[in-house]
Chains A and B, each alone.
Chain A
Amino acid sequence: MIRQEKMKVVAQHSIARNIFELTVEGSLVDEMAEPGQFVHIRVADSFEPLLRRPISIASINKEKKQFTMIYRAEGRGTQILADKRARDEIDVLGPLGHGFSVEEAEKKAFLIGGGIGVPPLYELAKQLKSRGIETVHILGFESKEAIFYEDKFKALGDTHIATVDGSHGTEGFVTHILNGLPTDFDTYYSCGPTAMLEAVQWAYPQKRGFLSYEQRMGCGIGACFACVCRTTKSETDYIKVCSDGPVFPAGVVIA
């Protein structure tokens, strides 16, 4: 069930250039089910900025009633969020949307992420591992300074890093790594820029895949029709990224 709660900030750390890791606590965590869902955050009790900010869930700790978000402080809203400190309160609406189906993976899964699309794959990797699925992580970043959670992913499985400028790992995009990897997996999961999702989809037309899309949102719950995309089903069919997604099976969304 979707809830709105003033959640308590437990900790906030800068973990890469402009990238922050924010952990909050509250009973809303009880409602979190699938990896890949997101929350909608009101960063200040004012009209500046006015709208909530959709932020993905990077990891969930049900026992402690805590969850962690990783985001890039880029605009006004996320910069205000980056100033939050332990014991501050933030207004969280969530959990929202539908995430990755962990049941679909059988033995081995590829988790392919780009930039700020990487965080939800961390909770996904944890849940897949706990189900006995082998996970291979292929993660792309702008540069060495933008990389985060490399060690955490390595602790869960084989991890490959690409950087656009070649300052760490393979130079180029995640697709450059994918080209050199055996295709002995049964399911792939991906989150990142639309161009990356398209490339991943093209790379594995025969595989079962799930893609998490990004689109500018208004309400975050499906009422405002801001984040609509057409689908391959018919000329008139459409989905709302916020409430029908953000995760969809490969081959469905026309982004």
Chain B
Amino acid sequence: MIDLTVNIPGLELKNPIMPASGCFGFGKEYAQLYDLSQLGAIMIKATTVETRLGNPTPRVAETSSGMLNAIGLQNPGLQGVFDNELPWLDQFDVPIIANVAGTTTEDYVEVAREISKAPNVHALEINISCPNVKKGGITFGTDPAVARELTRAVKDVSSVPVYIKLSPNVTDIVSIAKAVEEGGADGITMINTLLGMRLDPKTGRPVIANITGGLSGPAIKPVALRMVYEVSKQTRLPIIGMGGVTNVDDVIDFLSAGASAVAVGTANFVNPFVCPEIIGKLPERLHELGFDSVQELIGRSHRL
């Protein structure tokens, strides 16, 4: 019997696989397709204090082995998520990781304080790395001192463990990771999307209305893997790794690089059943590789 369980702050995961925030809405669409209780956890779409309508369209553009998006954190706001989305998700036996976004420290603090009171929210993911909103977001994620202070402020008010979602759009991601560790973070989720753009060859104009967007998908996996490796080497915080995961071997890679759990993002759009499929294949793949548990695999690249 292969042991898929992972225990990290706030999260007793039956398996290490979860859909990434922004790629799974609040679960309703995928619940038409399979039982969400199969998932290790669900990272729900970013929640802000007020309702946000997001960016103009087009909001997505396909690129080589990837896609750009600039949705702009569209969400029904704290009240809507708390009153409607979270109670609906309570029918499933799955811990929720609530993604918290904002433009000021006060925004983050308010959403973190309130949303962490929901009974099925087991951890927070603080989104200091959204590249698609004009104010806030990524600005909190690119300066170590600012990231540390925000982490501290959110930690002070949260009823559940706090994971900080790191941006890859920095010169030295380890310095940001160390700063949020000092700020009292319980864990790290990484990476968010890489800032990019695509032009229409006929007109020369950007395809995405927001001009730039966040790059995701298989194209970014090597970058994500390298960053998870570096951060896991230099901090003690547990990591939920993500970036271009599409199959069970990608999951093996992220665990080996030092992630304790793995989130699947863009691949949900390509194959909506990708999460349960990976969960189904994981025991056999671990067995083939000579492991009895997910735990044994975590960080093995550092031990070689």
Residues of A within 8 A of B (CB): 1-2, 4, 42, 47-52, 93, 215-230, 236, 238, 243
Beyond A49-B62, A230-B53, A243-B29, is A223–B273 a contact (Cβ under 8 Å)?
Answer: no
Beyond A49-B62, A223-B29, is A218–B269 a contact (Cβ under 8 Å)?
Answer: yes
In the bound complex, residues from chain B placing their C-beta under 8 Å from that of A1 are 32
Whether the Cβ atoms of A219 and B268 lie closer than 8 Å is yes
Q: Does B7 contact A (CB under 8 A)?
A: no
Whether the Cβ atoms of B272 and A225 lie closer than 8 Å is no
In the bound complex, residues from chain A placing their C-beta under 8 Å from that of B30 are 221, 223
Whether the Cβ atoms of A236 and B60 lie closer than 8 Å is no
In the bound complex, residues from chain B placing their C-beta under 8 Å from that of A215 are 57-58
Q: Does B217 contact A (CB under 8 A)?
A: yes
Whether the Cβ atoms of B62 and A51 lie closer than 8 Å is yes
Q: Does B74 contact A (CB under 8 A)?
A: yes
Beyond A223-B25, A238-B53, A243-B29, is A50–B60 a contact (Cβ under 8 Å)?
Answer: no
Q: Does B59 contact A (CB under 8 A)?
A: yes
Beyond A219-B268, A228-B74, is A50–B217 a contact (Cβ under 8 Å)?
Answer: yes
* Contacts A215-B57, A218-B67, A228-B59 supplied; 19 other A-B pairs, CB < 8 Å: A4-B272, A47-B65, A47-B217, A50-B218, A216-B61, A219-B268, A221-B29, A222-B28, A223-B25, A223-B29, A223-B268, A224-B60, A226-B59, A226-B69, A227-B57, A228-B57, A229-B57, A230-B53, A243-B29
The residues in B between 50 and 106 inclusive whose CB is less than 8 angstroms from any CB of A are 51, 53-54, 57-62, 64-67, 69, 71, 74
Measured between C-beta atoms, what is the minimum distance from A105 to chain B in Å? Answer: 29
- Bound CA–CA A51/B272 (angstroms): 11
- Bound CA–CA A216/B213 (angstroms): 15
Measured between C-beta atoms, what is the minimum distance from A217 to chain B in Å? Answer: 8
Query: Which of B23, B57, B61 is the one whose CB lies under 8 Å from A223?
Result: B23
- Bound CA–CA A230/B54 (angstroms): 11
Between A and B, how many residue pairs show CB distances below 8 Å?
Answer: 99
- Bound CA–CA A219/B23 (angstroms): 9
Output the nearest chain A residue to B217 by Cβ-Cβ distance.
Answer: A50
Query: Which of A2, A47, A229, A230 is the one whose CB lies under 8 Å from B33?
Result: A2
Q: Does B304 contact A (CB under 8 A)?
A: no
In the bound complex, residues from chain B placing their C-beta under 8 Å from that of A4 are 33, 271-273
Output the nearest chain A residue to B207 by Cβ-Cβ distance.
Answer: A216
- Bound CA–CA A2/B34 (angstroms): 11
Output the nearest chain B residue to A77 by Cβ-Cβ distance.
Answer: B62
Whether the Cβ atoms of A50 and B266 lie closer than 8 Å is yes
Whether the Cβ atoms of A93 and B272 lie closer than 8 Å is yes
In the bound complex, residues from chain B placing their C-beta under 8 Å from that of A49 are 62
Can you list 6 pairs linking A and B with CB atoms under 8 Å apart?
Answer: A48-B65, A219-B29, A221-B272, A223-B25, A227-B57, A228-B59
Q: Does B24 contact A (CB under 8 A)?
A: yes
Whether the Cβ atoms of B62 and A50 lie closer than 8 Å is yes
In the bound complex, residues from chain A placing their C-beta under 8 Å from that of B59 are 216, 225-228
Which of A50, A52, A226, A238 has the largest count of B CB atoms less than 10 A from its CB? A50
In the bound complex, residues from chain A placing their C-beta under 8 Å from that of B64 are 48
Output the nearest chain A residue to B64 by Cβ-Cβ distance.
Answer: A48
In the bound complex, residues from chain B placing their C-beta under 8 Å from that of A236 are 51, 53
Which of A217, A219, A229 has the largest count of B CB atoms less than 10 A from its CB? A219
Query: Which of B25, B67, B71, B246 is the one whose CB lies under 8 Å from A222?
Result: B25
Q: Does B1 contact A (CB under 8 A)?
A: no
Q: Does B289 contact A (CB under 8 A)?
A: no
Whether the Cβ atoms of B273 and A225 lie closer than 8 Å is no
- Bound CA–CA A69/B261 (angstroms): 41
Whether the Cβ atoms of B272 and A224 lie closer than 8 Å is no
The residues in B between 172 and 231 inclusive whose CB is less than 8 angstroms from any CB of A are 217-219
Quick one: CB contact mask for B266-278 with A, threshold 8 Å, 1 for yes? 1011111100000
Which of A93, A222, A228 has the largest count of B CB atoms less than 10 A from its CB? A228
- Bound CA–CA A226/B64 (angstroms): 19
In the bound complex, residues from chain B placing their C-beta under 8 Å from that of A47 are 65-66, 217-219, 246
Whether the Cβ atoms of B217 and A226 lie closer than 8 Å is no
Measured between C-beta atoms, what is the minimum distance from B41 to chain A in Å? Answer: 17
Whether the Cβ atoms of A222 and B29 lie closer than 8 Å is yes
Measured between C-beta atoms, what is the minimum distance from A93 to chain B in Å? Answer: 7
Beyond A1-B32, A226-B71, is A219–B272 a contact (Cβ under 8 Å)?
Answer: yes
Measured between C-beta atoms, what is the minimum distance from A220 to chain B in Å? Answer: 8
Whether the Cβ atoms of A51 and B53 lie closer than 8 Å is no
Quick one: CB contact mask for B21-51 with A, threshold 8 Å, 1 for yes? 0111100111011000000000001000001
Output the nearest chain B residue to A216 by Cβ-Cβ distance.
Answer: B58
Whether the Cβ atoms of A50 and B53 lie closer than 8 Å is no
Output the nearest chain A residue to B19 by Cβ-Cβ distance.
Answer: A223
- Bound CA–CA A228/B70 (angstroms): 12
Beyond A2-B32, A219-B272, is A225–B71 a contact (Cβ under 8 Å)?
Answer: yes
Measured between C-beta atoms, what is the minimum distance from A226 to chain B in Å? Answer: 4
- Bound CA–CA A96/B23 (angstroms): 18
Query: Which of A50, A224, A229 is the one whose CB lies under 8 Å from B23?
Result: A224
Q: Which 7 A-B pairs have the closest CB atoms?
A: A47-B65, A223-B25, A226-B60, A223-B29, A219-B269, A216-B58, A221-B29
Output the nearest chain A residue to B24 by Cβ-Cβ distance.
Answer: A223
